[in-house]
Amino acid sequence: MSDITITLWRPVGPEELALVRELGMRGFPPRLPDQPIFYPVLSEDYAIKIARDWNVPRSGTGFVTKFEVRKEYLDGYAVQEAGGRAHLEYWIPAEEMDSFNAAIVGDIEVIKSFP
């Protein structure tokens, strides 16, 4: 198994952050029935934009998380462009969250918050 990791970011609202904390900052919660895909993003700027412009109006607060994922795991997924070259993300099927979480190396960090 390779030790090479890729840094990813995930914008979250307060409810999802609470669930990440319940998991000891070591994984993300299962997706809800209306969330068939988990979308970690490839840039901090893109995560900030989502947290600030989408999470804050929707839930009053937005957070940006940062974490490392084994490259070997991510090699099984194509990077997706979501509306522009600066908006790159992975699309992880909801049923694969356990394997995604197992590929996270270290803790998930909260690096920014938008009240």
- What confidence tens digit (pLDDT) does each residue in 36-73 have? 999 999 999 999 999 999 999 999 999 999 999 999 99
- Ranges of each domain in the chain: 5-114
| Residue 41 dihedral angles phi and psi, to the nearest 5° | -110, 160
| Percentage of the chain modeled with pLDDT above 70 | 99
Distance CA 89, CA 36 (A): 15
pLDDT band (50, 70, 90) for residue 99: very high
Residue 1 has pLDDT above 70, yes or no: no
**Rg of the chain, C-alpha, whole Å:** 13
Residue 25, both tokens: 């900052």
The token pair at 7 is 């840094």
| 3-state secondary structure at position 61 | coil
Q: Is-contact 71 6, C-beta < 8 A?
A: yes
Output the CATH code of domain 5-114.
Answer: 3.20.170
Mean pLDDT (the chain) is 96
